[in-house]
Structure 1
Amino acid sequence: MAVTLHDVATLAGVSIKTVSNVVNDYKHIRPTTREKVLAAIDTLGYQPNISARSLRSGKTGVIGLALPELSLSYFAELADAVIRAAERRHLVVLIEQTAGGDREREIEMLSSPRLQLTDGLIFSPLGMSSDDVGYLNVSYPLVLLGERIFGGPTDHVTMRNVEAAKAATAHLIARGRTRIAVIGAHEGEVVGSAALRLRGYLDALAEAGIEPDESLIRYVGLWHRLDGAQAMHELLDSGVEFDAVFGLNDTLALGAMRVLQESGRRIPDDVAVIGFDGLDETKYSLPTLSTVDPGRDEIADMAVDVLVERIANRDAPPRQYLTDFSVIGRESTAD
């Protein structure tokens, strides 16, 4: 017997109308209620009937967006940009979080029954790697974001991490800084944002004839403010001399900047600081934080456009797109 709205409503402890509202993505639903209904849909394997218009067109007008965690400002601002891009194309976005980029959660999400509510998915993995490329062979339109998997079977929109990180480091070198610490490296990482941005940092040093110093490279587990602050405490405690800091994302840089100020270091007089991501909050830190805008709005626009094209034509070969970036100099580097 097919699972019905009534079955879902009974399991979730809500009315049939509430289940219908959740299925149709009505906005004015309490988050707790929405989660109960979606959990019941997952448990029962309910497949909702699509409206008559959707049946005729074969489309729902809904796209999925799967991100590691919205508590990180970059992903929150990316989600906002994707929603705005989708609205301009009269599309609704269903957002999934993958538990901070947990690999198993990401793989599970790729076969989630909730994706039946969508026409396609924009997916930013953080835990998966090139070894998991086979999981991207899905039956629905899929656009990949990020730097974890290259050369897969899907369209891929990403940023110029190496070039942008090189430009950020060169920005510091151009201001006379030669002892540049980098915060946010990942031990043993070969592919990923941290590895690519570290490569750009090293490329800039080499081009300027500056010998890299391993003691200036600080490794972290996550890219939160706490990690940036802890890494800066460790750097200061080590006694290593440095006159600049490159945070591999803005959140790390903001955490490091707080510790520098608490230690009595003047920014940028004693230590210049630059981040990466172009977060809105960097305009309001004290001092304002220099950063790299990796083209987040362009990534969102392009990802939605590419997904719409893929929905219309599933037979075209997969494509890769790179967005432009810009270095934004502010008070933390005396600009």
Structure 2
Amino acid sequence: MAPIDGTYDYDLAVIGGGSGGLACAKEAVNQGARVAVLDYVTPSPQGTKWGLGGTCVNVGCIPKKLMHQAAILGESIHESVAYGWEVPSLDQIKINWSALTQAVQNHIKSVNWVTRVDLRDKKIEYINGLGEFKDKHTIVATLKNGSKKELTAKNIVIAVGGRPHYPDIPGALEYCITSDDVFSLGHPPGKTLVVGAGYIGLECAGFLNSLGYPTTVLIRSVPLRGFDQQMASMVTNEMEEKGVKLFHKCVPLSVEKLESGQLKARWVNNETKEQAEDVFDTVLIATGRYALTKNLHLEAAGVLFIGER
């Protein structure tokens, strides 16, 4: 990519500071381009927000692996007795949720910082703003203080990633959390209902159950759709053996907050049409994700839409 000739502010502007956007920006600057990265996190319905690095660093792969490791350590303590370790009282072994989430967030913040420093060292301009198209070469960024910053680029890459999809049921947006929230949840999740049996839902259900929080999963169709189903069955069988409750062919109907602060969830079995309900401390939605392209004003850049999900 040849350097700009003065027509534009940048050779390349990347909208999105996640794994894909950052990799693209670094490769471009290595080729001699002048590059800017725009990144902004809109808070989740529960108010959760995070720093530079995208889903994987902040609310995906990294915190999930850390919580999974915490769960493995807890299980190892229980299993160690069979190998001769003398544990004073297995009944007293429990997770300190606050300490766990603090450790996870401290690690994430260190990665956020290293990422910022890396951009600075590579002379990539970082703009903490929500970008949208004015035309095919112009971006308007809304900054944290509400002011607007306009910039132009010869090439613009969209790498905005996605966010969790909420089912259209009463109480979902008001009372439920998603993977955006669980890794920084300010209180122990307690008895948890996970809605959805993709890899995100089952990963969350797995580590929550192993951390000592009773966990139930609603499965609409097949677990781990798109994966080898023999392996998927092995995963769900193992989860049930470890105490996770799985309700197959079930979809949620509503989530209601009780005076106690707990959540009453109702669901229906799509085959038998039987309805059921139970009370939980936390309801975690994991029913898929959608791309964050709606507010980019792509039509201003000449992008044609064939259809939407």
Per the normalisation by structure 2, the TM-score is 0.28
Per the normalisation by structure 1, the TM-score is 0.27
Higher relative contact order (CA 8 A, sep 6+): 2
Please identify which structure carries the higher strand content. 2
